[in-house]
Amino acid sequence: MINSQSVEKKVQKIVSRSKEIILTFDEKNVIMIDSFGTLSESINSCQVQYISNKLQQAQIEVVPTKTIIGFEKGTELKLKTGITYVLRDLAITDDDKLLLTNHLSSDPILYVYRDCKDYETEIIFSAALFGVAVIPGTDSGIVTLPDENSIQFIKTTQMTKSDKVNIELRCFGITASHDRIYIGG
């Protein structure tokens, strides 16, 4: 690990020892073969400006956060009856569709509820699901398939399966940002 303070001190020491050397040539009006003029040397302190990292650091604007003062019970989700559920994760799409993973190997289904309350459809997978995430600003989602060491993309507008990627590790949790997918195994 590099200690930034020791590096900064070394740079400041080098800069303080630096000198500017000026060589000037004074030519003679009459040129003789044995001499072309005199060479003089002037040594001045170097005028290098060094700005400490502390002054170069970016500043982040502090945005006050709102305090959560309570929760209210809103819509109650009514699951389909006659089904055994082992719900592990949920995500909500930009158009308010609730995605629920059912972690049963006998029933590997992603349930989709419109407006976060009304059953819309389901997507059947090849193995038990665990995690689900929606990629912000896109019409894509991702589920984890831990028994297959893979993740599978879904198209959230059509609610269809897309590409499956073997990630060579037993993956459970998943989340996404605009340009990255984070997987917990």
For 147-161, the three-class secondary structure string (H helix, E strand, C coil) is HHCEEEEEECCCCEE
State pLDDT tens for residues 101-157: 998 878 899 999 988 788 899 999 999 999 999 999 999 999 999 999 999 999 999
Asked whether the beta carbons of 126 and 115 are under 8 A apart, the reply is no
Q: Is the pTM of this model over 0.85?
A: no
Instruction: Find the helix or strand (DSSP H, E) in which 7 lies.
Output: helix 4-17
List, in order of start, the domains of the chain with CATH numbers.
4-53 (no CATH), 87-184 (2.120.10.30)
